[in-house]
Amino acid sequence: MQQLSLMDDEEKPPGSPSGSVVEEQQRGMVRPRALSPRSESFLREFFPEATINDWNNWHWQLRNRIKDFSSLSRIIQLSAEEKAQLSSHSMPLSITPYYTSLLDRWNPDDPLRKTVVPVSEENNILPEEMVDPLGEHSNSPCDSLVHRYPDRVLFLVTDFCSTYCRYCTRSRLVGRRLDTFLWRERWERALSYIETHTEIRDVLISGGDPLTLSEEKLFWLLNRLRKIPHVEVIRIGTKAPVVLPQRITPVLTSMLKMFHPLWMSIHFTHPKELTPETIEACNQIADAGIPMLSQTVLLAGVNDNVEVLKRLFHGLLKIRVKPYYLYQCDPVPGTSHFRTPVEKGLEIVSSLQGFTSGFAVPNFVIDVPGGGGKIPLFPNRILGRDGNCLILNNFEEKQLRYPDITTPCKN
């Protein structure tokens, strides 16, 4: 098979500083990473001129992203549907070498491959699908900021991700690289809004992926936010530990833990993502005292299975990540092949409750189109009443009675 050459690409991640993993190791700032056998085999086959230190350098991973038909076809055997769409897709293609190494090269039904490789079904646009399904633009008081809930805001600090998910809610924005050099002005306007709205106590930094920013930019932003007295909690929404675990270094975590209380929401999809590299990355984050929550989108043919999600959620708890949200897939144009009936999510949650630890069961939510916000959905456990007693259905489908506090139950 023809090997890939290192891309001589001048494009750099937003705010990328100079330097390499080797230099950081020499300064004692980064401990060497061991390669998993899968990563090492992939590196030797497709990037034989690269070193292990190159592979472990997150800047190298970004410079060598798979971004076109030619590069991808050298690694995986593309199906007819993939070939057709790769020549016409509108949303950018971008996959890190690391995440590409996790894809099944021969099977187009591989769950991870489905999430990042475009297929012709993306051309099937349904009437109910919307470019901005969550109504973020209508709830945006200024560039980069969404103020939908009373006491918290969403701060979109970049439109860049290392790997683009084909079902992305913000596919209208990501990868466009607009106003790259105006980040300071946009951030200042957003920070000014946060400073003047004292009801804001929680800021979620998202994008794009904030962890593709340099430590310098992240420090500047977090430092500014921490100086606002009414901002109590800062959260970072990211997929970097999953698609770019090389980004998580002691240099980064030492800086992040200066700004506690700091939380991290990580986008996980499938248990195949729980690799040695991702486990190491999450352990570093946890050891820095940063609580981690997972957000998983329910996707047809990818993870719409109780046993698959149970393996994922159990695996997350072992690396100190709390399963938090299971999202119904948003109605973004060209994503109908990913969406499941809402009943499927309720069925999965019902099959988890009682059969595994309670804190391994995430909240199943719909983010209502038009800016209505998140609505949690629960299996119907209340069957009715008998006088002032509730008739309940437990995880074993047994009907049980619970006495209300107002009056005793009837005998």
Residues 148, 235, 239, 339: which is the catalytic one? 148
The sign of the dihedral angle between the CA atoms of 334, 294, 225, 17 is: negative
Q: Which of 262, 273, 204, 288 is nearest to 240 (CA)?
A: 273
Residue 282 bears catalytic tag: no
Could you tell me which residue, 13 or 74, shows the higher pLDDT?
Answer: 74
pLDDT tens sequence across 291-331: 999 999 999 999 999 999 999 999 999 999 999 999 998 88
Domain(s) labelled CATH 3.20.20.70 in the chain stretch across 137-377
- In the DSSP assignment, the letter for residue 356 is B
pLDDT digits (tens, 9 = 90+) for 245-278: 999 999 999 999 999 999 999 999 999 999 999 9
**pLDDT tens digit sequence for 281-292:** 999 999 999 999
CB 150 within 8 A of CB 230: no
Task: Express each pLDDT in 124-138 by its tens digit.
Answer: 888 888 777 777 778
- Is residue 389 flagged as an active site residue? no
Please say if 330 is a catalytic residue: yes
Catalytic residue among 149, 186, 272, 320: 149
Q: How many Å from the N-terminal Cα to the C-terminal Cα in the chain? A: 77
Q: What is the pLDDT of residues 68-87, one digit of tens each?
A: 989 999 999 999 888 888 76
Is residue 152 annotated as part of the catalytic site, yes or no? yes
Closest C-alpha to 102, from 269, 351, 214, 300: 269
DSSP3 helix / strand / coil % (the chain, rounded to 5) = 35, 20, 45
d(CA 249, CA 244): 11
CA separation for the pair 16, 53 (Å, rounded) = 17
Q: Catalytic site residue 186?
A: no
The catalytic position among 54, 65, 98, 168 is 168
Beta bridge partner(s), residue 292: 264, 321
* Helices marked H in 197-295: 215-226, 240-243, 250-256, 276-287
110 as an active site residue: the answer is no
Local confidence band at 4 (pLDDT 50, 70, 90 cut-offs): very low
pTM above 0.85, yes or no: yes
Q: What does the pLDDT average to over 92-120?
A: 96
> One of 63, 152, 217, 339 is an active-site residue; which one?
152
Q: Which of 54, 132, 159, 330 is catalytic?
A: 330
374 catalytic? Reply is yes
d(C-alpha 181, C-alpha 197), whole Å? 27
User: Does 367 qualify as catalytic in the annotation?
Assistant: yes
Topology of the domain comprising 137-377: TIM Barrel (3.20.20)
CA 14 centroid distance within chain: 18
Catalytic residue among 165, 167, 217, 329: 165
